[in-house]
Structure 1
Amino acid sequence: MRTVAVLGGGIGGLAASYYLCKSPQVAKVILLESSNRFGGWLWSTRRSDGGVFEHGPRGIRPAGAVGRNTLNMVEDLGLSGEILPVTYSHDASKNRYLYVNKQLHKMPSGISGLLRTVPPFSRPLLFSIATEIFVKKSKEEDESIHSFVSRRLGKELADIAVDSLCRGVFAGDCRKLSVRSCFPVLYNAEQRRGSLTLGMLLGSGPSQVVPPGPLSQRSVKESWAQWSLRRGLEELPESITDFLQRSRRVQLHRETPIKCISYSASGWTIHLEDGTITADHIISALPAKVLSSVLPSSCQPLIQKLQDISCVTVAVVNLQYEGSVLPVTGFGHLVPSSEDQGLLGVVYDSVPFPQHNRSEGLTTRLTVMMGGAWFQEVFGSPDAVTEEQLLERATEAVRLHLGVTSAPSWSWVALHKDCIPQYYEGHFRRVESMRSFIKNNSLPLSLTGSSYDGVAVNDVIYSARTAVEELLGNGI
């Protein structure tokens, strides 16, 4: 393998380049990014007063093979000393809230929380869990998350808790999202064990094998629930970029939009605004619709499937308040769509990561997330809404939900257009069809990134590793 071109310099493209660098089989890697920075949605603002604000993901889970894989990468990059862990015993892990009927409700936790009725739910959660074991498994190959949870655990849990969870994780509508693609662990538990309860207790099938390194072992020993980095999560893509530059095997190109790509017997030709690049293989970490817009017309069946994957727009508003203003302590609160379609949730950033607060003087950092699948309906066109409108909506939510009447001392509004892919019912079939087309036509093309195999940071990094392993035909 002489030259591999990686399209897209978000965390997926950076991770693919990182893994390619690990192999002597690849002579040269060319990474192409259209914007002026690498890292994609991993984006942190570091203020001169020591404050750190995340405009994208703000914490990464260490659990599972994908979590171990990311921690192994972090360790290899020399970032172990930068880790900010949050344990399961921390308030941010134990206390999560829902905003229902115009008030905050702490989500049930522990045995006592399962045994008694905890508002906003009308019966103990243990009742739903105990009866779930008798529900017959579905014969459908996929269904919506809302349908799945309603059938197995009851409509109330689906309407309130799961609706809110899907808004917080995917900024999406659980009535459209696929349970098989968004929550494969739940789908597999039902299919293989006939029950979520039995699936959780007995396991629901084989998982990826990733040996834990020392940092991953430490995360288990210390019971980490999530982690960040001292200078914000953007420190991860920055460190990968530095690693790639030091390797001298990767050509890094910012501000290099791709006009189109063409294929012939000799390989790929990537057409740029000011010339062309040739490559033997392409790993695309571009959003599905962006890739569809540059592929040759001979790939029409693939183009159509790529265009079927929708994305949603999310407004992220960072707020800093003077003093300690929160009425409760915890990770934050989510809002079901029945309560307020436009407002997805509020994260209490100062609770899990107080190290990111301003170095002098007590402050409270919050992040308000808005829009998602409801953006157009609530706010109109993303091109027409103003930062002032979004800031006003965010501060009003903080006032109503948390009783914070003071004005923020600092704010930042980020509008992330088409930032989270939506895995609607049948998503797994669409992805299978795409990869079958690539294989059947012997195209030297790999698909990675958040459009296909998971939207979380861990999933995207692991997807990049898998793409490289499949390309090179061996482990890394």
Structure 2
Amino acid sequence: PMRTVAVLGGGIGGLAASYYLCRSPQVTKVIVLESSSRFGGWLWSTRRPDGAVFEHGPRGIRPAGAVGRNTLNMVDDLGLAGEILPVTYSHVASKNRYLYVDGQLHRMPSGLSGLLRTAPPFSRPLLFSVAMEILVKKSKKEDESIHSFVSRRLGKELADIAVDSLCRGVFAGDCRKLSVRSCFPVLYNAEQRRGSLTLGMLLGSGPTPVVPPGPLAQRSIKESWAQWSLSRGVESLPESITDYLQQSRRVQLHRDAAVKHISPSSSGWTIRLEDGVISADHIISALPAKALSSALPPACQSLIQELQDISTVTVAVVNLEYDGSILPVTGFGHLVPSSEDQGLLGVVYDSVPFPQHNRPNGQTTRLTVMMGGAWFQEEFGAPEAITEERLLARATEAVQRHLGVTAAPSWNRVALQRDCIPQYYQGHFRRVESMRSFIKENNLPLSLIGSSYDGVSVNDVIFSGRTAVEELLGTGL
């Protein structure tokens, strides 16, 4: 049996891994080491005294697929089901998503009529692209950029506008550099296994993990949820896991505990902190790749190099609150392709999907403006030199230009999320394979989890924690 497992990083990945470790009788002790003064990482909410809630990181979480069900099962087990705020597919926030192109908002085509009509900014009906797509030959390349993949199969226009915007919304990244295989494995597999995206989507394209739905996940299917949040913000999830771990007799949670160095020992690892040393039989690292690389010993040089090659981007997240109802359209929000405005990624109309997060008295509108990402440096310069005033000015100016809002916001919060989203460039899957082979060949008692490797979504990160624990303990949890 594993005696002591050290989990490096107390973001949602490290907390999830600790949660799954805790549920196994094989583990005697779990030690969680978090360098900052709080747990939860990028899941970070502000709860204002008047009841309003603002998200500085991920907001809506998707219930779909095995990884989505897995998270809902966890929410259920933690007793959070009563706090869930679902948004169904029939909700206006799910139906209406906009693109800001050529200085105006365009509703993204949806539903059957959306497939058949020509809807600006597109010059032909989507159905045309989809029908032609079935005839496109399968690529022989083992990986390619998202832009190249979509241009080849669905046409350059969709790649330049819709996919460019989507990659900015999801990864804050550049679809010309991001890997289709690692960022959208479902699309890559559809082409590989069925020769077509359309056929792959219709017929299914390959094995997915089996996660039986618990009561909450069953409810999400029955009520057809598109996304969900929690009544006190998504930070309630890491908080509940932290409470659960604190109540377990086997977990030690350490904050303000930066890992300085780790070195192999006869029994596993010696972990050096600022003020002391910890021994562990196994390490689950939920640290960002670069942070882990700087703690590894010189004997791991090839691993260190590969970890350093995983890039991240910085995103400025500006929460704004306006008095009254100020939106000219209603929906989830709008995205902005890089050809329109490189620095501005998109605006989320938070009050539409989650009106429960508005303050209870008086009509207000909450918006979140996302800026920078892969374009941060060229738009704003070095992240350490930028001022909050400049970011706030840029965000309010965009709201004015894109949405015609002339009023100034009555409340704001600027968060500069440095290195928050890893970028899976072409060949990312090879790099991750190679890192894991190095670990295996050298019998290192080390697992790599978190957003640097197998998916950046909250669901992916939680599932990576579960997978690592299952592999470590040799059981299905």
TM superposition score category, shorter chain reference: over 0.9
Residue number in structure 2 paired with 1:37: 38
Hey, what's the Cα distance between the residues in 2 that align with 1:409 and 1:249?
A: 46
Residue number in structure 2 paired with 1:361: 362
Hey, what's the Cα distance between the residues in 2 that align with 1:65 and 1:210?
A: 5
Hey, what's the Cα distance between the residues in 2 that align with 1:273 and 1:69?
A: 36
Aligned pairs (5 A) from 1:78-89: 78-89=79-90
Hey, what's the Cα distance between the residues in 1 that align with 2:185 and 2:444?
A: 28
| Deviation digits for residues 426-452 of structure 1 (CA, Å, limit 9, x no counterpart) | 000000000000000000000000000
Q: CA deviation at 1:110?
A: 1.0
User: What letter corresponds to residue 388 of structure 1 in structure 2?
Assistant: E
What root-mean-square deviation, in Å, do the aligned CA atoms of Structure 1 and Structure 2 show? 0.4
Aligned pairs (5 A) from 1:266-345: 266-345=267-346
Hey, what's the Cα distance between the residues in 1 that align with 2:23 and 2:386?
A: 44
Q: CA deviation at 1:266?
A: 2.2
| Deviation digits for residues 97-141 of structure 1 (CA, Å, limit 9, x no counterpart) | 000000000000111111111000011111000000000000000
User: What letter corresponds to residue 13 of structure 2 in structure 1?
Assistant: G
**Secondary structure of residue in 2 paired with 1:185:** helix
Hey, what's the Cα distance between the residues in 2 that align with 1:407 and 1:276?
A: 52
User: What letter corresponds to residue 474 of structure 1 in structure 2?
Assistant: T
Q: CA deviation at 1:217?
A: 0.4
Q: Does 1:385 align with 2:386?
A: yes
Hey, what's the Cα distance between the residues in 2 that align with 1:248 and 1:157?
A: 54
Structure 1 residues not aligned, in runs of 5+ = none
**Secondary structure of residue in 2 paired with 1:163:** helix
**Secondary structure of residue in 2 paired with 1:417:** strand
TM-score, normalised on structure 1? 1.00
Q: CA deviation at 1:419?
A: 0.3
Hey, what's the Cα distance between the residues in 2 that align with 1:267 and 1:227?
A: 40
Residue number in structure 2 paired with 1:97: 98
Spell out structure 1 runs of 4+ moving beyond 2 A. Answer: none
**Secondary structure of residue in 2 paired with 1:89:** coil
Residue number in structure 1 paired with 2:239: 238
Aligned pairs (5 A) from 1:41-440: 41-440=42-441
Number of residue equivalences: 476
User: What letter corresponds to residue 53 of structure 2 in structure 1?
Assistant: V
Residue number in structure 1 paired with 2:26: 25
Hey, what's the Cα distance between the residues in 1 that align with 2:346 and 2:249?
A: 43
Hey, what's the Cα distance between the residues in 1 that align with 2:297 and 2:52?
A: 46
**Secondary structure of residue in 1 paired with 2:59:** coil
Q: Does 1:462 align with 2:463?
A: yes
Hey, what's the Cα distance between the residues in 1 that align with 2:75 and 2:111?
A: 32
Residue number in structure 2 paired with 1:9: 10
Hey, what's the Cα distance between the residues in 2 that align with 1:421 and 1:223?
A: 30
Hey, what's the Cα distance between the residues in 1 that align with 2:340 and 2:178?
A: 20
Hey, what's the Cα distance between the residues in 2 that align with 1:275 and 1:28?
A: 18
Q: CA deviation at 1:248?
A: 1.8
User: What letter corresponds to residue 186 of structure 1 in structure 2?
Assistant: L
Hey, what's the Cα distance between the residues in 1 that align with 2:235 and 2:46?
A: 9
Hey, what's the Cα distance between the residues in 1 that align with 2:129 and 2:345?
A: 26
User: What letter corresponds to residue 146 of structure 1 in structure 2?
Assistant: H
| Deviation digits for residues 78-115 of structure 1 (CA, Å, limit 9, x no counterpart) | 00000000000000000000000000000001111111
**Secondary structure of residue in 2 paired with 1:120:** coil
Q: CA deviation at 1:265?
A: 2.0
User: What letter corresponds to residue 35 of structure 2 in structure 1?
Assistant: S
| Deviation digits for residues 285-305 of structure 1 (CA, Å, limit 9, x no counterpart) | 000000000000000010011
Hey, what's the Cα distance between the residues in 2 that align with 1:282 and 1:267?
A: 8
Q: CA deviation at 1:264?
A: 2.1
Residue number in structure 2 paired with 1:446: 447
Q: CA deviation at 1:236?
A: 0.1
Q: CA deviation at 1:328?
A: 0.3
Structure 2 residues not aligned, in runs of 5+ = none
